[in-house]
Amino acid sequence: MAVIEVNIPDVGTDKPVDVIEISVKPGDKVALEQTLIVVESEKATVEVPSPAAGTVNSIALKIGDQVTQGGLILLLDVGDAAVTSLSPAPAPAASTVPPAAPAQPAAAATKPAATVTRADSARAFSNANVHAGPAVRKLARELGVNLGEVVGSGPKARIIKDDVHAYVKKRLTAPAGSATQPDLPKIDFSKWGPVEEQPLLKLRRVAAQNLHRAWVTIPHVTQHDEADITDLEAFRVAENTRQKDQKDNAVKLTVLAFLVKASVMALKQYPKFNSSLALDGEKLIVKNYWHIGIAVDTPDGLVVPVIRDADRKTVSDIARDMGELSKKARDKKLTPADMQGATFSISSLGGIGGTAFTPIVNWPEVAILGVSKSQLKPVWDGQSFQPKLMLPLSLSYDHRVIDGADAARFTAYLAGLLGDFRRLLV
């Protein structure tokens, strides 16, 4: 009987590496090249194969140990073999090997570590720097799972096979077309204090899904600008007073109604903002109708009813439509048809406050206008500062469709229209 020492081979670094898995136990019979342990450096996970067939006599390491080349791994009873000490050639962990990589040649006792595949090997994603053993890595490779997205439930957050299966199941059962949530660890908040669980209403869940999908699929940029609405506001207030004095059923002209009208004119001037990107990404569908979605805040969540054919309506018509739609929204009486077909949306927080925000584009639209609270500001007219009522505009857009310069032109044009509202009449 001959017992040999099996030592840590050259794993491509002089620094200590962590033992992250011990794949055998004393008494196990191992075959030539069967994995004995797995070590992990900053750059790669490396399986250390057995340099000979035999029976594990004793193991000199435990998980978490830091080891360097030459350190003892285990004693192996190899029967009548003549050798007394072997450093096996390391094999890269299964998942770090590109699928088409040729098999490594059989181990030689002091083979250099040229066979170690680094974490940056040619794969769409690398599973090298995750905490998982070879069997789990193999399973992940077979299923095409990016272990970086899997949360480990084993000791020290180690990924086990059940975690991979649970991840695949979750991906397969996600609603079609929904954006998948990254796999986040479940947190027990009650560890730190009392909590209560409140179920989310369907409306809020659907809105969350839509917002998430838009956020992850659209490269968003927000262009900020200001419009001088001093004259517009003076006109609006005077007109509301005049109408109220004249008729009982006068419609209140809102800032938002003027914004809808001005936006339609800007959309006509810059038609790309009134388009959708085809799913294949190869064409733009430019719409020759102007239906404007208005974000309405309700106790159950955000809804976006649509003012149809806003180009054919007066500011009073738009104000009336908006009043009816927001009432319907708050009374939960909106139908799906009321919320479909918008070509551009406006989200106004002006009645509440704030100086700017970044609205999320309401896919399949390509832009959305955010409006914050107007403020009286000193504006230099070339000779002196004048008090001007400035309205903050925040235009978020899909950068695949719209360039920054286009967005700056759009908001400047819009600000110009609001600054001289007579242009809305022509």
Query: Interface residues with ligand CAO (CB under 6 A)?
Result: 254-256, 294-297, 302, 326, 347-351, 359, 371, 373-374, 391
* Nearer to ligand CAO (CB atom), residue 16 or residue 364: 364
Strands (E), 111-257: 220-228
Strands (E), 305-384: 306-307, 344-348, 367-371, 375-380
Q: Is 256 helix (H, G, I), strand (E, B) or coil?
A: helix
* Nearer to ligand CAO (CB atom), residue 39 or residue 371: 371
Cα pseudo-dihedral 192, 193, 199, 204, rounded to 10: -70
Tokens encoding 235: 């006109």
Annotated catalytic residue 220? no
Residue 367 C-beta: closest distance to ligand CAO, Å:
14
Residues 6+ apart with CB under 8 A from 114: none
Residue 329 C-beta: closest distance to ligand CAO, Å:
7
Closest Cα to residue 406, out of 248, 398, 16, 98? 398
Residues 6+ apart with CB under 8 A from 140: 95, 127, 132, 146, 147, 150, 164
Please identify the residue of the shown chain whose CB is closest to the bound ligand CAO: 350
Q: How far apart are CA 334 and CA 301, in angstroms?
A: 13
* Nearer to ligand CAO (CB atom), residue 281 or residue 299: 299
Tell the residue number behind the tokens 């990589």, with chain if given.
Answer: 101
| Largest Cα span, the chain | 112
* Nearer to ligand CAO (CB atom), residue 77 or residue 297: 297
Residue 369 C-beta: closest distance to ligand CAO, Å:
11
Strand partners, 7: 72
The CB density around residue 365, as the number of other CB atoms within 10 Å, is: 25
Asked if the peptide bond before residue 364 counts as cis, ω within 30 degrees of 0, the response is yes
Which residues form the catalytic set? Answer: 399
